[in-house]
Amino acid sequence: MYESKGFRVICHGERGSRWEGTGRDFLRKQLAALRRHRKVASNRLGSALFYGASVGCEVAVYGDPMQFEDERPEYGGTARRQRLWPELHGTSVDPGLAAEVARRELGFEYQATPEELRRMFGWKRVRA
């Protein structure tokens, strides 16, 4: 659908616990792609929109909402996403507000420093 409208559709592979070992580079590939673009748009709010907003991309969620055949109803579907993040839906989204929402949802304020990560996981610093 998007390709027929002139949009470029990008897939970074599968990720998540259901695809054990197949999506190791998913977020790295996604970040690299997002940094090469000015805008991220979709017909379903997902992590790419949050990550895009967090690195300064314009974001928009619009069009006929994508529905998954086997979507689990306890997650609330499209109605839940529209209710929780109405400010990210529409063809024109405030970039400052989108970035603020993304930073909050992605937990930027809880980001550990490299030293904190080493302490938490018992990692030793490797010198090259």
pTM above 0.85, yes or no: no
Residues 6+ apart with CB under 8 A from 29: 12, 13
- The residues spanned by each domain of the chain are 3-121
In contact, 54 and 103? CB cutoff 8 Å? yes
Model pLDDT for residues 82-128, shown as the tens digit of each residue: 889 999 999 999 999 999 999 999 999 999 999 999 999 999 887 76
Model pLDDT for residues 27-71, shown as the tens digit of each residue: 888 899 999 999 998 888 888 899 999 999 999 999 877 776 777
